Structure 1
Amino acid sequence: MSETDEEMIFGNLHIHPASRTVDVDGRKITLTRMEFDVLCFLAANSNIALTRDQIYETVNGDNYLGGSYVIRDIIYRLRTKLGIPYIQTLHGYGYKFSIEE
């Protein structure tokens, strides 16, 4: 996965790709490698509708870790850990990262 080293800021969410860290309201959030990669990919493509397959293939490449359905679980964990509603479910399609409500 190609990442920019530039910090991404979305309201109270700060993503630091160079150090692979995330904080919400100044509080550090611990993420797994896959959680961080999914969050970065969604944030880098904010306001773009993405399928689970697109997310999985971009973040995971050729490594099989349970298929695109693993993305559903990662999205759930991200929502729980971050406590912010930036990841929207697009029923029948996939997900979109957006700070608009």
Structure 2
Amino acid sequence: MIDLIQNKNSNITIKLSDYLVHHLHKVYSKLSNLFSEIEGISIEKYFINLRIEKVKELIFYDELSLSEIANVLNFSSVSHLSNQFKKVTGFSPSHFKNMKNNKRVQLDQL
């Protein structure tokens, strides 16, 4: 999933379950149950967290607008990105951008 977020942004348009089944050659329900059992979080919530961490990274480097970030990470709109961001972080993307000490977790540390 980290590889999908970091290196294959254009592939985010496919369903996560289809992507995982194709790359891992396992039944999704078994993957999902095993992941939830080990990590204590659903694959979908974990993937949302990864996407939001990538959003934080892109905001931090300030090279793309929020609209461009939403497009790159295949959010349906800036509003959808903002809602997901606030749900996960408790902050709006613009508030996060204005914070002095942007504390973010590296994707491989999640």
- TM-score, length of structure 1 as denominator length: 0.41
Structure number with greater CO (CA < 8 Å, separation at least 6) is 2
Q: Comparing both structures, which one devotes a greater share of its residues to helix?
A: 2
- TM-score, length of structure 2 as denominator length: 0.38
Q: Comparing both structures, which one devotes a greater share of its residues to strand?
A: 1
